Copies of this chain bind each other. A is one copy, B any other.
């Protein structure tokens, strides 16, 4: 603390001593530009979607103006009134600024000016927020993060009315409100500001945005490069358990642009947080583009910002909802406001991809600036093309060498596999190496639980993370992957987990009928190597594509392996006997197991265990090559959940005990449909008679899928050489197979 205070003082001295000035630019110069706004005004009334957005925004802002300005003394968490009020204030002020520039109606300028001076009057004497939960408490909000949101938006409002204010007014606002505000979230809170984390991205952008409006080079440097001597100790943690400072870590906007994004544009925290961080990334990127084009922020790291938009859009299901990898609240989608920004900016400053226009059409609104205008004009002029999502493999890590996420899609998102073999994903990461989820169109077939939080719903822990996020949502057993000895990957230790990542074995979507992604994990359970291969296959004898899932485990010791499948729907049938307890007891005591009730326990009755369910009017069957000694557990979430923070979701879990080297092979097969309106049940039975591991040795693993007509297909995997050029030969049941590349698939049909 002592050191930090000194640093703060030093920095303040520097600020006062050398007020460096950027070359003065006319306002607005941030998101809107003089030239841009001219073009917007000229096109008013001529571009339907733009005009509609102006009208809709005008309605919202006019309603707020009628409501009156309220800047209450901060008091509440996310779900409470003061939080919501200040949030609505900055959102509305930003919109009012755009309206002022477009419509040139003084009432919008006055609204912003009045609001800013109310804030100016209260800010100087404002203590830190009374809620003490955050590692970096804000003043208007309970965390600096939300204060930074405020400044990112308010900078735009200020920029919009800058020219309407006298120098005296501007000095007052800048000296009493904006500069102290920027200093508070940065030099007063380096533990928040000087990280590589979405929090810091917001902080950096906030400081940078106001720097550009105020023409303050020192703040801009701080935004871009962070605080040089932040006085932080290595290894400190925030209240989400994330590291604050890592050795050798740079800080500032550019570092945040560098580190969490892979060269493919994948953001290591996952799409839910990428969606959140995209706004400050892009809006400050755009501000820099307008104010300092020579810095080429959009071109940074081979266009990673614009690639990020593309990656993000590809991490959504057929309904546009983001896959809830790591901490992600389900239902968040590309309909959210920050994605309007992302899509419009990516269109304007990228390659004017006409497929983006179809998403903008669905969003049914555009940014009120030149990029939104460009999008609306593109739509008006009939340039729209459907946004087609293909299979995609996104690397993780700053250099793309820390695993990744593979998304295999068949047809028009008829079947979508999301396979996660990434790095830990910072503090919002889950302990779910080699996990997956499966979608048919926009419906979850096998789910990823997402987070345990009701974002902004005050009644649920103030809208913040619930303790079940740690005790359940982050645990390994909460995911469709292997849990060894009822423990978590890396023992649930963030420090360890952050040092490792899974590795891609190979990815091949070149044959649309047989698409494969394969990866290995050797650190989650020391001494145990897991190698999971997932193939989306469309076989002629099958109505729909299916998923083949092979997990080969090699361990130095004998262990228990649990493999759950979190199916979405109602149980239809199965081919094994099980006991159903009259009373339900938790399956275990910790690592997430304490939240699972055991609703049934059985044994395989054949070598191919089958389990069917009906979800969203469609049938699904899991067929798994099981061993006689396997246990089949039917679990239900909800034990030790007195606050009802968890959903009562179900799983079928395959438990294999006392094994060192073993292989799980399963097929998840969508089939048929059911309509409660026509009451027609179509193709409700599985087409599979047997799934069998016919070869499993060091070099090769082979699985045969036999359908009910006796036709079969064979999938052979080279376990040790993933080269696309390697030639292989192996004899199975007396027959010789030869091929080139890491896998071989043959179908008797």
- Tell me which residues across on chain B come within 8 A of A586, comparing CB atoms: 582-583
How far does the Cβ of A312 sit from chain B's closest Cβ, in whole Å?
15
A286-332 interface with B by 8 A CB criterion: 329-332
How many copies of this protein are present in the complex? 2
- Tell me which residues across on chain B come within 8 A of A459, comparing CB atoms: 572-573, 612, 684-685
Determine the main DSSP class of A at the interface with B.
loop
- Tell me which residues across on chain B come within 8 A of A634, comparing CB atoms: 644
- B681 close to A79 (CB less than 8 A): yes
Q: Which residue of B lies closest to A637 (CB)?
A: B648
Q: Contacts A583-B583, A584-B584; is A329 near B647 (CB within 8 Å)?
A: no
How far does the Cβ of A469 sit from chain B's closest Cβ, in whole Å?
15
- Tell me which residues across on chain B come within 8 A of A225, comparing CB atoms: none
- B684 close to A644 (CB less than 8 A): no
Q: Contacts A463-B681, A573-B459; is A642 near B454 (CB within 8 Å)?
A: no
Q: Which residue of B lies closest to A329 (CB)?
A: B676
- B676 close to A642 (CB less than 8 A): no
Complex Cα distance A400/B459, Å? 47
- B612 close to A676 (CB less than 8 A): no
**Contact bitstring A638-678, B, C-beta under 8 A = 1, else 0:** 11111110011010000000000000000000000011111
Which listed residue (B333, B636, B639, B679) contacts A455, Cβ 8 A?
B679
Say if the beta carbon of A700 comes within 8 Å of chain B.
no
- Tell me which residues across on chain B come within 8 A of A650, comparing CB atoms: 648
**Contact bitstring A329-344, B, C-beta under 8 A = 1, else 0:** 1111101110000000
How far does the Cβ of A75 sit from chain B's closest Cβ, in whole Å?
15
- Tell me which residues across on chain B come within 8 A of A578, comparing CB atoms: 642
How far does the Cβ of A92 sit from chain B's closest Cβ, in whole Å?
13
Q: Contacts A582-B640, A583-B585, A584-B583; is A458 near B648 (CB within 8 Å)?
A: no
- B677 close to A79 (CB less than 8 A): no
Say if the beta carbon of A17 comes within 8 Å of chain B.
no
Complex Cα distance A648/B641, Å? 16
- B457 close to A614 (CB less than 8 A): yes
- B570 close to A644 (CB less than 8 A): yes
- A336 close to B648 (CB less than 8 A): no
Choose among A647, A678, A684 the residue with the greatest number of B CB atoms under 10 Å from its CB.
A684
Say if the beta carbon of A720 comes within 8 Å of chain B.
no
Q: Contacts A570-B647, A580-B642; is A679 near B456 (CB within 8 Å)?
A: yes
Say if the beta carbon of A599 comes within 8 Å of chain B.
yes
Q: Contacts A455-B679, A636-B648; is A584 near B597 (CB within 8 Å)?
A: yes
Say if the beta carbon of A36 comes within 8 Å of chain B.
no
Choose among A330, A599, A679 the residue with the greatest number of B CB atoms under 10 Å from its CB.
A679
Complex Cα distance A76/B649, Å? 33
- Tell me which residues across on chain B come within 8 A of A580, comparing CB atoms: 640-642
- A677 close to B331 (CB less than 8 A): yes
- B676 close to A331 (CB less than 8 A): yes
Say if the beta carbon of A1 comes within 8 Å of chain B.
no
Q: Contacts A679-B455, A681-B456; is A639 near B582 (CB within 8 Å)?
A: yes
- Tell me which residues across on chain B come within 8 A of A614, comparing CB atoms: 454, 457
Complex Cα distance A583/B674, Å? 35
A interface residue count range (under 10 / 10 to 19 / 20 to 34 / 35 or more): 35 or more
Which listed residue (B458, B641, B642) contacts A681, Cβ 8 A?
B458
Say if the beta carbon of A708 comes within 8 Å of chain B.
no
- Tell me which residues across on chain B come within 8 A of A648, comparing CB atoms: 636, 648, 650
Q: Which residue of B lies closest to A276 (CB)?
A: B679
- Tell me which residues across on chain B come within 8 A of A674, comparing CB atoms: 456-457
Say if the beta carbon of A13 comes within 8 Å of chain B.
no
Complex Cα distance A612/B79, Å? 15
Complex Cα distance A551/B614, Å? 39
Say if the beta carbon of A12 comes within 8 Å of chain B.
no
Say if the beta carbon of A10 comes within 8 Å of chain B.
no
Q: Which residue of B lies closest to A578 (CB)?
A: B642
Say if the beta carbon of A460 comes within 8 Å of chain B.
yes
A556-612 interface with B by 8 A CB criterion: 570-573, 578, 580, 582-586, 597, 599-600, 612
How far does the Cβ of A598 sit from chain B's closest Cβ, in whole Å?
10
Q: Which residue of B lies closest to A460 (CB)?
A: B572
A604-625 interface with B by 8 A CB criterion: 612, 614
Say if the beta carbon of A35 comes within 8 Å of chain B.
no
- B677 close to A336 (CB less than 8 A): yes
Complex Cα distance A459/B683, Å? 11
Say if the beta carbon of A680 comes within 8 Å of chain B.
yes
Q: Which residue of B lies closest to A585 (CB)?
A: B583
How far does the Cβ of A53 sit from chain B's closest Cβ, in whole Å?
16
Complex Cα distance A336/B614, Å? 21
How far does the Cβ of A337 sit from chain B's closest Cβ, in whole Å?
7
Q: Contacts A584-B597, A597-B584, A681-B79; is A330 near B676 (CB within 8 Å)?
A: yes
Which listed residue (B336, B600, B639) contacts A678, Cβ 8 A?
B336
How far does the Cβ of A79 sit from chain B's closest Cβ, in whole Å?
6
Complex Cα distance A584/B647, Å? 16
Complex Cα distance A634/B580, Å? 22
- Tell me which residues across on chain B come within 8 A of A332, comparing CB atoms: 676-677, 679
Q: Please name the 3 residue pairs, one residue from A and one from B, whose CB atoms are nearest each other, closest first.
A: A331-B676, A571-B644, A580-B642
A binding-site residues for B, Cβ under 8 Å: 79, 84, 329-333, 335-337, 454-460, 463, 570-573, 578, 580, 582-586, 597, 599-600, 612, 614, 634, 636, 638-644, 647-648, 650, 674-681, 684-685
8 further A-B pairs in the complex, CB-CB below 8 A; given A332-B677, A454-B614, A456-B680: A79-B681, A84-B681, A329-B679, A336-B678, A455-B679, A459-B572, A636-B638, A648-B650
